[in-house]
């Protein structure tokens, strides 16, 4: 068995760093990959759109991509499964074009596409010759609490691998590539660490990551392409997951016969979307020409004294990165707090500056007028902060 899993593609025309055309190209690249490698299943793990009420041309682009993917899978007897994410839920608006309503409409047109909008087991059957494959996907769409009793876990009834597919936050999941933000709530790792499923695949969190599971394997697939600054310098794409069956080591009628398989093999495939790269430059080096960033989105942070940064325009900095498709300039000025007394680094409030002067023994270099001004500012502070000036 072979499946391709992807997630969080977020069709939209309002991303600052990628265009709708970029998203379409990435989706079509995935479709071409499926045409070549012929997976039994393509599993999408939620958040097809960015907005629950996408604009007409955005919805049309997404539906066209889905039609092409469905046709690619149908050509070799494969199927497509779409899990509902938090951006895909139904809207109260009659004219909403979200994933939920669109796939309801296209149910007859795309017979090999299954919409998974309930927390239950979906039995999917391929038509690959000679007999096809029947396998269960235990779906946990957004908005449902995990409940193991919802799923059909009879191992003897299945002839293929069992997949838990969810869209939501997992406790302890990492939100950025540096691992600086972890979720404290959400689905418990203990709930999904179950040998009832051969693999666990999640959507919602954009950072690809493997879960620390003992009884099964899996993780977040991550977003299909880099969409914003948080994705800079990190890999984005889709997973190719495959199993190789082994001869049964138990009697053929045993319910355990189907569990005799090798562990799944995971291959990460780069999605091919625009690179988003962070780049630091000094004020002295800001105007130097650089090459080798063709087609990239660059987030350039220029560092130096504030007075120098004010003399360099964003356009001058961007012009130095030849071939970049977009340059976002940020400025990080060196702190230029004046020193009240030689040898004392100025602090953050007038009151602290005056206290620093009073405590220092060498008052040479004092600007008396500045000290008086600082004292007057300090007098305006609340009584609890004035201290020496009560």
Residue 387 pLDDT > 50 = no
Tokens at 59, concatenated = 């919805």
Q: pLDDT tens digit string along 135-173? A: 899 999 988 999 999 999 875 544 578 899 999 998 878
Beta carbons within 10 angstroms of residue 135's beta carbon: 22
Q: pLDDT tens digit string along 354-383? A: 777 777 777 666 677 777 777 777 776 555
pLDDT value of residue 96: 46
pLDDT value of residue 370: 74
E strand intervals along 63-204? 79-83, 113-116, 120-125, 134-140, 163-167, 199-203
Q: What is the pTM assigned to this prediction?
A: 0.79
Q: pLDDT tens digit string along 87-103? A: 887 654 444 445 656 66
Give, in words, the CATH class of 2-270: alpha beta
Do 85 and 142 meet the contact criterion of CB atoms below 8 Å apart?
yes
Question: 3-class SS at 181?
Answer: coil
Q: How far apart are CA 201 and CA 184, in angstroms?
A: 20
Residue 112 pLDDT > 50 = yes
Which pLDDT band holds residue 309 (cuts at 50, 70, 90)?
confident
Residue 6 pLDDT > 80 = yes
Q: What number of CA atoms fall less than 13 Å from residue 43's CA on the CB side?
A: 33
Dihedral Cα 240, 246, 249, 255, nearest 10 deg: 50
Residue 123 pLDDT > 80 = yes
Do 274 and 22 meet the contact criterion of CB atoms below 8 Å apart?
yes
Q: What is the mean pLDDT of residues 287-298?
A: 90
Q: pLDDT tens digit string along 241-270? A: 998 765 555 555 555 544 445 788 999 999
- Please give the DSSP secondary-structure letter assigned to residue 105: H
Residues of the chain with CATH 3.60.21.10: 2-270
Sign, CA dihedral 241-46-82-172, equals: positive
* Degrees, nearest 5: CA angle 194-200-203: 140
Do 121 and 143 meet the contact criterion of CB atoms below 8 Å apart?
no
């Amino acid at each position: 068995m072979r499946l391709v899993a992807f997630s969080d593609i977020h069709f939209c025309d309002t991303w600052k760093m990628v265009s709708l055309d970029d998203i379409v190209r990435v989706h079509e690249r995935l479709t071409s990959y499926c045409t070549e490698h012929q997976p039994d299943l393509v599993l999408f793990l939620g958040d097809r759109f960015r907005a629950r009420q996408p604009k007409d041309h955005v919805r049309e682009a997404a539906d066209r991509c889905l039609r092409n993917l469905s046709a690619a899978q149908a050509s070799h007897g494969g199927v497509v499964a779409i899990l509902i994410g938090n951006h895909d839920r139904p809207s109260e608006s009659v004219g909403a074009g979200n994933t939920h309503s669109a796939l309801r409409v296209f149910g007859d047109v795309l017979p090999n596409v299954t919409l998974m909008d309930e927390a239950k087991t979906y039995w999917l059957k391929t038509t690959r010759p000679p007999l096809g494959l029947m396998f269960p996907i235990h779906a946990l769409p957004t908005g449902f609490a995990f409940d193991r009793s919802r799923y059909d876990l009879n191992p003897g009834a299945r002839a293929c691998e069992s997949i838990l597919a969810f869209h939501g936050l997992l406790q302890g999941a990492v939100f950025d590539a540096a691992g600086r933000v972890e979720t404290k709530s959400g689905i418990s790792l203990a709930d999904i660490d179950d040998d009832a499923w051969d693999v666990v695949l999640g959507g919602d969190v954009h950072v690809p990551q493997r879960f620390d599971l003992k009884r099964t394997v899996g993780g977040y697939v991550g977003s299909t392409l880099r969409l914003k600054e948080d994705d800079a310098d990190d890999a984005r794409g889709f997973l190719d997951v495959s199993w190789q069956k082994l001869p049964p080591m138990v009697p053929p009628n045993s319910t355990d016969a189907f569990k005799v398989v090798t562990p799944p093999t995971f291959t990460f495939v780069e999605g091919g979307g625009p690179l988003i790269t962070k780049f630091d430059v000094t004020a002295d080096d800001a105007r130097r020409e650089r090459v080798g960033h063709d087609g990239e989105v660059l987030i350039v942070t220029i560092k130096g004294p504030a007075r120098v940064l004010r003399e360099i325009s964003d356009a001058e900095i961007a012009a130095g990165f030849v071939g970049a498709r977009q340059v976002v300039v940020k400025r990080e000025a060196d702190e230029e707090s004046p020193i009240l007394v030689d040898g004392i680094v100025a602090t953050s409030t007038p009151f602290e500056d005056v206290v620093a002067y009073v405590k220092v023994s060498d008052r040479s270099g004092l600007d008396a007028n500045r000290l008086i001004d600082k004292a007057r500012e300090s007098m305006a502070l609340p009584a609890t902060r004035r201290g020496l000036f009560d």
